[in-house]
Each structure stands twice: as structure tokens, then as C-alpha cells.
Amino acid sequence: MRLKAPIVLLCVLVLTGGAWALIRSRISATALAGSAKDQPKPHQAVPPHHGTPVELGDEQFTIELVREPASGTLRAYVLDGEMEGFVRIAARQLNLEVETQGGRKLLALKPVADLATGETVGDTSLFEARADWLKAADRFKGVFRNLRIHDQDFPAVAFGFPEGNAKD
Amino acid sequence: MLFLLIRRGLRQHLVSTAVAVLLVALGMGLVVSVWVVRAEAEQSFTRSASGFDAVLGARGSKLQLVLNGLFHQEASPGNITAEDYLQVKALPMVDRAIPIVVGDNFRGVRLVGVSDDFFQNLEYAPDHVYTVEPGGRPFQVEQKEAVVGSLAAHQLGWSIGTTFHPFHGLDYNPDAQHSEIFTVVGLLAPTNTPADRVIWVPLEGVQKLGGHDPAAFTDLSAVLIRFKPGAKAAGLMLDTRYNRQGKRLTLAWPVASILGDLFAKFSWFEQALQALAYMVAVVAGASVFSSVYSSMSARKRDLAILRALGAHRGFLIAAVLGESAGIGLLGCALGFGLYAVIAATVQEILRTRIGVLFEPWAWNPVMVWGPLLMLGLSVGAGVLPAWRAYRLSVAEGLSPLS
């Protein structure tokens, strides 16, 4: 009778320990899986080049504008609505009307080919234009005219620079 | 007196004590090994990135690019052009851009074609640059010359002046021998990185070997990139350009994160080993309990005599708990020895097969909580026998056995 107690306790000890070990490893596995897979991917609302986002339509596409003051260059990257992917288009140019303190100006942003990305004129997401007045134009109002991206037309898209045209 | 009593208890049941000590040692060795090997292996891989921040290669898997470009494992996902290399080299945020070409071997040891920039003050770790051992020299561009990594030289038994015919492909095929003869002109000083495991030859040496496509003579397998100090946004900028905007090339960056993903793929195995280690620890605790309990039962008469001679109940508790703690301490000491053997084996495998330096005695919290866990289990396993000793009646203990 007296021998029974330690044997039972031994069994309880082993079983408890085993259960604890399994629970411990399950908790770790669950925590790991939770951190790696189950967590929702945060929505990327930041333009890839930290430029000015111009939404087209109901967030169907976005044009990110990046001004390089030193060279007077304005670059326009065509992105999807989530600003996660680059959208290559065949456009010959992007027409932009700009209203600055110096008056109204027209910019024709031309397609840019890039060996690094594999983009070519006629299949690119990058357009750019250069003008001396852009070197000092840190604020302006603009309107993209007659944009056509993947069979969708955007006759006039107005925005302010550098804030963009986001509604919220 | 207490120490003598504990020692006598341990020696009286030497076999069960030894089994309990071995199990505690096994549990301790396993717990420490599982935690340290996992953490230190990842650290070792990250340290062995040879001082590069990124790898640029053909469109494909980032992990494959890192393994191929920095660890000389796996095949290249494809080739890139010399223009791609010149373009990335010219970027203002790039400090060093080293082109490499792979595709040949000597009896399984990989030949890596590299530009002569490789031997020009290129740091593989802070204040450590790739150098050739005294008596040798770097290869000359356009010559059939080679500099051999220290491990490769040891493995092949090569020295300066050795000549060899390379074999086509990354895997050794005796029927695919090239006719060209290369001469070893230098031995790379040990770096404890994967660079020690390969044979370094001039880019053109690999590109223009007989049987290689003449149209691809200027193609490269990858470009190893180091950004200028302080150019923190450089990786992000190039990641956007090559990986998100581009569809031709892949920039493997940041290397540490990519290697972290590799280890995450094997986390299920780590979880299984952890569960096994815990189970062994619990069984070790049970074994200590069994050993101390039987020892206490067998010495019930001795303990009763001690009580009759005036020994305090607390003394008996201390004797029993001391016995289980003794088993725990011996097991922990032996467990560290077992860990040393496991770590030395892992260290040798990582060094010779991947070229990664594993530091088994680097600080890890398990070095403290592992022994404490096993000691706690051992002492905990002695609580019930100690309680029985505490409640031992002198009359019962001294009653005739038959």
C-alpha cells in the first residue's frame, strides 16, 4: 500500500511534465505561426519614393510625383491603387497642366526606359519631364489631362503639390 | 556529517544514481544544445555574410541568391549582363560591387570567378580584409591562375604551384573536365567565412572556359554589393527599383532578414527538438525521484538510528534533498560536457560544409536557466522522499525487519 503512493506520484509527475512540455511547445509554435503568418499585412499607404500621391478614379490607380529640385526634374510613377505595385503603360506621354505663381504651364512627361527594371518606352511605369522652373516650384496646383491607363480613361485629375489629392 | 551522509546515499545505490545523473545530463545537454545551436547558428550565418549588404542577380528567389552568392551553396538562378553590373556599380550609394561567376568545380569544390577588386582592401568583417598568405599573390586578370580558400586548400592538399583542370558544372562529373590548366598562385588567409571553401579565379577564367557559350562570355552570376556607410535608405531604394518596379533582376536585401526567413522555415523542427528536450528533462526528474526514493527507503533504519541519536528532522530533510541536489549538480556538470561534444560536432560540420564559424560558448540565457531548470527538477523530485524522511517514526524505523 505504501509503495503505491510514490508510484502513482511518479506517473503523475511524468504525465504532468509531458503535458507541460507539449503545451509549452504548442504555445511557442502558435506564437511563432501567429507572428509570421496570421498577422494581417499592414496596408502600405506610403508611396514607394515618399513622393506626392495623386489618386486616379476611386483609388483605381495612383500616380506618384517626385520632384528633384537640383535638376528641375519631375518624375511620375504609375502605381496601382494600393501603391504596392508598379503599373506599366504604353502611353507616349502624360499631359500635366500646372498652375504656379508664375502662371500656367504645360508639362509633357515622357516615358523612361530603364535597364535595371526592364522597362522600355511603350512599356514603362516611369515618366519624367525637365524644366528650369521646376527647380523652384515647391508648391503648385496641377491637372492631369486625358490619362488612359489599361483601358480606363481619366479626363481630368486635379491635385495640389506636394499634398496630392487624397480625400481623407 | 551531512556531506558524508549524502555521499554515502549516492554511492550506496550507485547504479540508479548513475542512471539518474546520466538522464539529467542528457536533459541538460539537450536543452542547452537546442537553444544555443538554433540561436548561434543564425548568428553565425548572419556574421558570415562576408561584409556584403545585398546580392543582385537574375529574377528569382532572394534566398537562392544569398546562398549562391555569399555561401557558395545552391545554383545561380540565372545570369545577368555586364551592363547590369556597371549600372549598379555606378550608383552613388554603392561602396563596393563585386561581380562573381559560378558554374565550374574541381572535384566538388566550387570555382568562383571574381574581379580583382576582391583582393583590394575588401573587408569581410570590421578591420579584416581578404588577404593572400605570405609567399603567394592574388591572381592576375586574364591569366589561368587561382587563389584557394584555406579550407579548400586543406581539403585538396594544394599549395602554391599546384596545377589543375577544372570540371564543368557545380557538381563533380569526371567526364566534364575542361582542357584548360590553372595554377595556384596564392592561398587565401583564413576568414572563417564561406570564402574559405572555394577556389577563386579571375572572372574571365570561368567565363571563357572551353565549352562555355561564347555569346555569354561577359555574363555574370551575381553582383555582391556593399552600401556606403550611412546610406541607410540605399537598400530600400534599390529594393523598390529592382524588386517592385523591375521584373528582370532581383536584389536580395537585407541579407539578415532573408537568412532569418530560412531559419523560420525550419522552426517546426526546432519545436519538435524543444519538446523532446523537455520530455527528457521530465524523465530525468522522474529518475531522480526514483533513485532518491529507493535510497531513502533502503536507509530507513539508518535514518531512524540517526533520529534516535538526536538528529533533527530538518537534518534528515537536508540529507535527502542534498542527495537529489547532488544528482542534479553532477548531471548538470556532465550535461555541459555532453553539450561541448554536441557543439564541437555542429561546429565542425558548419565549418567544413558551409564555412561558417559557430561560437558555442557565446552568451545565451539558456546557459543559466538550463542548469537551474535541471537542478530545480532534481531538487523538486526529492521533496516527497524528504517529506517521508521528515515523518519517519523512530519506532517504525527501528522495528525488527522480520
**ipTM score of complex:** 0.73
Residues of B in contact with A36 (CB under 8 A): 264
The answer on A56 and A32 residing in a single domain is no
pLDDT for residue A37:
45
Q: Is A33 in the same domain as A65? A: no
Same domain? B177 vs B247: yes
A71 lies in the same domain as A20: no
Asked, for residue A98, whether it belongs to a domain, the answer is yes
pLDDT value of residue A91 = 95
Residue B72, Cβ density class (10 Å: 0-12 exposed, 13-18 middle, ≥19 buried): buried
Provide the domain limits for residue A101: 52-161
Q: Of B207, B228, B253, which marks where a domain is finished? A: B253
pLDDT value for B167: 95
Are B279 and B210 in the same domain? no
Structural domains counted in chain B: 2
User: Has residue B58 been placed in a domain?
Assistant: yes
A61 in the same domain as A34 = no
Q: What is the C-alpha to C-alpha distance for residues B54 and B312, in angstroms, rounded to an integer?
A: 70
Question: In this predicted model, what pLDDT tens digit does every residue of B327-374 receive, in sequence order?
Answer: 999 999 999 999 999 999 999 999 888 888 888 999 999 999 999 999
pLDDT at A40: 47
Looking at the fold, whether B19 and B107 belong to one and the same domain comes out as: no
Among A2, A15, A25, the residue to mutate for chain B (most B Cβ within 10 A):
A25
Note whether A24 and A80 are same-domain residues.
no
Average model confidence (pLDDT) across chain B: 91
In a domain, A136, yes or no: yes
Task: For residues A61 and A129, state if they share a domain.
Answer: yes
φ, ψ of residue B242 to 5 degrees: the values are -80, -40
Q: Is B259 domain-assigned?
A: no
Q: Report percent pLDDT > 70 for chain B.
A: 100
Same domain, A71 and A11: no
Question: Is A62 in the same domain as A35?
Answer: no
Q: Do both A13 and A75 map to the same domain?
A: no
Indicate which CATH number applies to the domain containing A113: 2.60.40
Low-confidence ranges of chain A (pLDDT < 50): 1, 32-42
User: Is the Cβ pair B246, A117 closer than 8 Å?
Assistant: yes
Tell me, yes or no, whether B241 and B377 share the same domain.
no
pLDDT the model gives residue A36: 45
pLDDT in tens, A143-156: 999 999 999 999 99
pLDDT above 60 (res B36): yes
Which parts of chain A fold into alpha helices (H)? 4-33
Does residue B295 carry a pLDDT above 90? no
Asked whether residue A168 is domain-assigned, the answer is no
Residue B210 lies in a domain: yes
Q: Are residues B155 and B241 in the same domain?
A: yes
Q: Does residue B90 lie in a domain region?
A: yes
Query: Nearest C-alpha of chain A: how many angstroms from B274?
Result: 7
Q: Which residues is B89 bridged to in the sheet? A: none
Residue in chain B lying closest to A13 (CA): B286
B200-259: pLDDT as tens digits: 999 988 888 887 777 778 999 999 999 998 777 899 999 999 999 999 999 999 998 999
Q: 3-state SS string over B21-75?
A: HHHHHHHHHHHHHHHHHHHHHHHHHHHCCCCCCEEEEECCCHHHHHHHHCCCCCC
B326 in a structural domain: yes
- Interface probe with B: pick from A12, A13, A22, A63, most Cβ of B within 10 Å: A13
**Tally of domains in chain A:** 2
Both B191 and B92 in one domain: the answer is yes
In the prediction, which pLDDT does A28 show?
A: 53
A91 and A141 housed in the same domain: yes
CB within 8 Å: B87 and A116: yes
Contact B246 A116 (CB under 8 A): yes
Q: Which domain holds residue B270?
A: 2-46+265-398
Q: Which residues pair with B55 in a beta bridge?
A: B224, B252
Residue % of chain B over a pLDDT of 90: 69
pLDDT in tens, B7-30: 888 888 889 899 999 999 999 999
Weakest mean pLDDT among A86-95, B38-47, B117-126: B38-47
Stronger pLDDT, B83 or A26, i.e. the higher one: B83
Looking at the fold, whether A32 and A83 belong to one and the same domain comes out as no
Q: Is A45 inside any structural domain?
A: no
Average pLDDT of the segment spanning B49-61:
91
| Whether residue B328 is found in the same domain as residue B282 | yes
